[in-house]
Structure 1
Amino acid sequence: MTTPTDTIGTQLPQPDPRGWLVFDRLPAELQDAEDSTQDNDVRYHRESWHYRGPTYHRAATAAERTLLEHLGYVLPDDLRTRVQFVTDNVRNRRWPALELQNPTTGGE
């Protein structure tokens, strides 16, 4: 049996120190977008941690929005991602605006 490469895989067990958006596989386009976002987050963290600290907020990316919708969240237009580096190598992403939602129904 082959594993489809054009579908989003299963979400890894939660809680995960990296946050909600951890899956056993992603389509190549989404994986590339997530890799690019991680590279940008790491670069920003390393360049500004000394005056900003380990946590900052930014606009949610299109890939993050796609994955959150896949999990069943209803997203506001102005969704912000909270990025925190738990360690130098572990990035945690959260969406405070979504934390009261039930991800399987998109409602509270």
Structure 2
Amino acid sequence: MIEQLPQPDPRGWLALRGLPPDLQAAEDARAEADQRYARETGRRTFSRLASGAERQLLQYLGYTLPKTELRTVVSFVTASLRNRRWPQLEQGAQQ
């Protein structure tokens, strides 16, 4: 069973446990890709399209997603601590 860790969490809304293996694999792959992008570009904060797994998990948590593109803002607070935000959802569309 998917469980959201107590909020606020420095990693953001998708600090979760109990993900099914397919979603866990997708989240792990996205984390690795974000880490690689940050390392290769030297950018600690960047924006990208939300992944399918992120969209699915946000909906599971009760967020209403926009019909247009959803952007994820990724920030590396430290070399290994990744925070993800969705500014489009922060204005009243929360759970």
2:53 maps to 1:63: yes
Q: Which ranges in structure 1 are unaligned for 5 or more consecutive residues?
A: 1-6
The aligned runs of 1:1-108 (5 Å cut-off) are 7=1, 9-49=2-42, 53-76=43-66, 77-104=68-95
Q: Structure 1 segments of 4 or more deviating over 3 A?
A: none
Q: Which amino acid aligns with 1:28?
A: P
Higher strand share: 2
CA distance in 2, matches of 1:12, 1:102: 19
CA-CA distance at 1:102 after TM superposition: 4.5
Which one has a bigger Cα radius of gyration?
1
- TM-score, normalised to structure 2's length? 0.94
Q: Considering only aligned residues, what root-mean-square deviation do their CA atoms show, in Å?
A: 1.0
CA distance in 1, matches of 2:57, 2:83: 15
CA distance in 1, matches of 2:92, 2:6: 18
User: Are the counterparts in 2 of residues 73 and 101 from structure 1 also a CA contact under 8 Å?
Assistant: no
Equivalent pairs, count: 94
Q: Which has the higher contact order (CA 8 A, sep 6+)?
A: 2
- TM-score, normalised to structure 1's length? 0.83
Q: Which amino acid aligns with 2:51?
A: T
